[in-house]
Structure 1
Amino acid sequence: MNRELQRLIEASNNIVFFGGAGVSTESGIPDFRSPDGLYRQKYRYPPETMLSRSFFDKHTAEFYDFYRGKMLFLQAKPNKAHQMLAKLEEQGRLKAVITQNIDGLHQQAGSKTVLELHGSVLRNFCMSCGEFYPVSAILESEGIPRCSCGGIIKPDVVLYEEGLNNDTLYQAVEYLRRADMLIIGGTSLAVYPAAGLVQYYRGNKLVLINKSETPLDNSANLILRGLITEELGE
């Protein structure tokens, strides 16, 4: 771990981590916006369109063809950053992980208080009766996955054109307001409304771990441009 980051952590007891795709890329999950990311690849429709609620409703089978091939990376394992965050929570220093990721790797690493702003691919539900299904219901089906009641199963992820969960947003705001240290990692803070949440942080120890610049660089106490597994990991 970076020495200055370690010093700030040791002087804090109410840390919140706010993370994005860069936390998961080092576990082998591709991001959206990098040169090799999803948005730079060629498809019949732009990825933003195929991951929208209107596309899901109108072209459900085609949505699932794309979703199964490009959004599910169940072989991925938590990396050193995930593991360090779980360790900091166990020590009582880290109070919450607020993540834009949908892969469940924070929980797999052992983190307990994880606020998933964009949902999780591991949870799925019937749009008719509300029955919940594991991700295997998506993987082991063909075409449109259906509930035993006949309804369509939808991933519990926030698609474009859908709003974030109000309860999750409220909890995130409360954790950020109380935090004495905020670590932002693996996100360029370009995705709203999620990125707008960091404005609720009132502390004076702001750390940014990201390969590229962010809108908060001028406000940060510490900026680290290396890999998050090296800067935050053991």
Structure 2
Amino acid sequence: MKREPSEVAGLVKNARRAVVLTGAGISVESGIPAFRGYQGLWEKYDPMEYAHIQAFLLDPEKVWRMLAEMMDTIVSAEPSYAHVSIARLEEEGIVAGVITQNVDGLHQKAGSKVVVEFHGSADYLICLGCNARYPSLEKVEEGIPPKCSCGRILKPDVVFFGEPIPDEAVRRSLELSASCDLFLLVGTSATVAPANQLPEVALQQGVPLIEINPEPTHFSMRENVHWVQGGASDVFRQIMREIGLAS
């Protein structure tokens, strides 16, 4: 059911084990384009040609033309008010953890401590040959495409199409979702498996769900779902004001 920020503020204030699932929408406000939709990254680059693991294995130099652009954008991005608010709610003992589908590291940059990176992290590069792992900036500064000391072209430590979600990320995400007392869905439609299972875990246990999205999703009108229409930062600004934590 559609709600105003003031109507869901009490749920946030009274929570002690809230879990926040975030998607591309929260980082759009930080200047990072969404992958899907109008002006999304996949409008410019065919994901099957630039973001599938087979495409990377076949022609990593080509894939790195897209990755270099993405990395530049991520490096210069700063956390939005929504990122900062979520970190503050964790500090106040309201949020138990964040599960993010983003790879930009902005939750950590904002100060969040418990963050499950469901799709990996662009902060690191890995070698598919010898399994070496490097900080991205260190290697990208050496040149594009970045190479391992063994000579192989490195891959961002993120989940490409055709790759499974890491077992540990799935385990921790399910654990957080199963033990929460409030679930927040922010900047994501949560339609892609297995991330779409996480809100269901909470709802099946009778836990209320607050959805913050500009447009409705398949969750919006469900029972025990409180949909607040708007951008993440605008909505969090109002919620934080209502609960006395505005900054």
TM-score where L is the length of structure 2: 0.88
1:228 aligns with 2:229: no
Percentage of matched positions with identical amino acids: 35
Q: Are residue 18 (structure 1) and residue 2 (structure 2) matched?
A: no
Report the AA paired with residue 229 of structure 1. S
Deviations 1:107-151 (A, max 9, x none): 000000000010010011222332221112453244432112223
**2:181 aligned residue:** 180
Maintained 8 Å contact 2:100/2:116: yes
- Counterpart amino acid of residue 53 in structure 1: I
More helix as a share of residues: 2
Aligned equivalents of 2:199, 2:17: Cα separation in 1: 15
Match of residue 30, structure 2, among 24, 27, 30: 27
> Which amino acid in structure 2 is aligned with residue 80 of structure 1?
Y
Residue aligning to 1:109: 110
CA distance in 1, matches of 2:195, 2:48: 17
Q: Which amino acid aligns with 1:37?
A: G
CA distance 1:72–1:188, shift in 2 (3 Å): farther
Within 2, Cα distance between the matches of 1:71 and 1:161?
A: 21
Q: Please, which runs of 5 or more residues in structure 1 have no aligned partner?
A: none
The whole-number CA distance in structure 1 between the counterparts of 2:216 and 2:5 is 19
Q: Distance in 1 between matches of 2:72 and 2:55?
A: 18
State which drifts further: 122-131 or 169-178. 122-131
Q: Distance in 1 between the 2:20 and 2:131 partners?
A: 31
**Equivalence map 1:1-234=2 (5 Å):** 2-41=5-44, 43=45, 46-73=46-73, 74-201=75-202, 202-219=205-222, 220-233=224-237, 234=246
Give the number of equivalent residue pairs. 231
Distance 1:117 1:133 in 2: 19
Q: Distance in 2 between matches of 1:157 and 1:9?
A: 31
CA distance in structure 2 between the aligned counterparts of 1:122 and 1:56, rounded to whole angstroms: 18
Rounded Cα–Cα distance in structure 1 between residues aligned with 2:31 and 2:209? 27
CA shift digits 1:74-126 (9 cap, x unpaired): 11000111111101111111001001000000000000000001001001122
Q: Structure 1: how far apart are the matches of 2:48 and 2:11?
A: 38
- For residue 82 of structure 2, give the secondary structure of its aligned residue in structure 1: helix
Secondary structure of the residue aligned to 2:126 is strand
Query: For structure 1, which segment, 132-141 or 75-84, has the greater mean C-alpha deviation from structure 2 after superposition?
Result: 132-141
| Stretch moving more, 19-28 or 65-74 | 65-74
Residues in 2 aligned to 1:13 and 1:66: alpha-carbon distance in whole angstroms: 41
Whole-angstrom CA distance in 2 between matches of 1:123 and 1:156? 6
The answer to which of 4-13 and 112-121 deviates more is 4-13
Q: Deviations over 1:1-34 (max 9, x none)?
A: 9222221111211100011000100011000222
Q: 1:155 and 1:33 mapped to 2: Cα distance? A: 20
Q: Closer, same or farther in 2 for the Cα pair 1:143/1:230, shift >3 Å?
A: closer
Match of 1:208, SS? strand
Distance 1:71 1:210 in 2: 26
SS of aligned partner of 1:147: coil
Deviates more, 1:222-231 or 1:70-79: 70-79
Query: d(CA) in 1 for partners of 2:8 and 2:130?
Result: 48
